[in-house]
Amino acid sequence: MFFILSKILAFLLFPLLYVFALLLVAVFSKKAKTKRKYLIIAVAVLYIFSNGFLLNQFAKLWDVSPGKLENGKVYSAAIVLGGFAGDDSEGKGLFGPSADRFIQGVLLQKTGRVKDILISGGNGNLNPDGFREGAWAKFQLKDAQIPDSCILIEDQSRNTLENASLTKKLLQQHRLQGPYLLVTSAFHMRRSLGIFKKAGIDVIPYPCNYIAGKKDASFTWLIPDADTLSKWSIYIKEVIGLVVNYISGRG
């Protein structure tokens, strides 16, 4: 039930939906004063959530900084969270916008910073098909010439909570000692870090796939940007998820 509710809630978090709702109220309002009021609010909300400068400032406060790694230390595993791939119309996998998670995990193993790479990700769709992200990623790791002995796969999780619980079992099964490097997108790291630590998994944040916050916006921040709307949706989802997990004691 929690999984289904989280998916429904995520749908209601898109800023453009708020703007659309406000415009509908304005259109169907009979009073001119009410129409004007909701039109002004709709324009204000649209401008705020399409403003790159505001997004960058928020991202700088939200994104977690990389943890300090010990010089010369080889960590037992890099835990790479799913969400970097999905299936196409033919049921085959393909990389998505968060592919940097996978890339950074491979680089950590290739450069000797970690011994093993653990991919955690199943299928988070409400109506899942046969595609499992972790299972698909295993073939990509082999193509990247990662030895079988260094690959651990968890392909049943549907969300970050299940990422943590199922990953913990896998780590215990293979008797890998922490701390581990937790690899996920910068916007997702704060919530993930809380969930993994709550589950008793000793992790060091290794954020990647930055979508905002790396530099200040130029004078163009005055111009509304459609892409910023989608980025705000991602951050709003993370904020709500963190609050819900805190209240429910899950992270």
pLDDT of residue 214: 62
Distance CA 205, CA 61 (A): 16
Each residue's pLDDT expressed in tens, for the chain with a length of 251 residues: 555 555 566 666 788 888 999 999 999 998 999 999 999 999 999 999 998 888 989 999 999 999 999 999 999 999 999 999 988 777 688 999 999 999 999 999 999 999 999 999 988 665 556 789 999 999 999 999 999 999 999 999 999 999 999 999 999 999 999 999 999 999 999 999 999 999 999 999 999 999 876 666 556 667 888 888 889 989 998 998 888 888 877 76
Domain-by-domain residue ranges, the chain?
2-63+222-248, 75-208
Burial class, 216, CB count within 10 angstroms (exposed 0-12 / middle 13-18 / buried 19+):
exposed
Sorted by sequence, the CB contacts under 8 Å of residue 186 that are 6+ apart come out as 59, 63, 64, 207, 208, 209, 210, 211, 213
Distance of alpha carbon 251 from alpha carbon 229, whole angstroms: 27
Element (H, E) at 139: helix 133-143
Residues 6+ apart with CB under 8 A from 31: none
Overall fold of domain 75-208? Rossmann fold (3.40.50)
Would you say 54 and 232 are in contact if contact means Cβ atoms under 8 Å apart? no
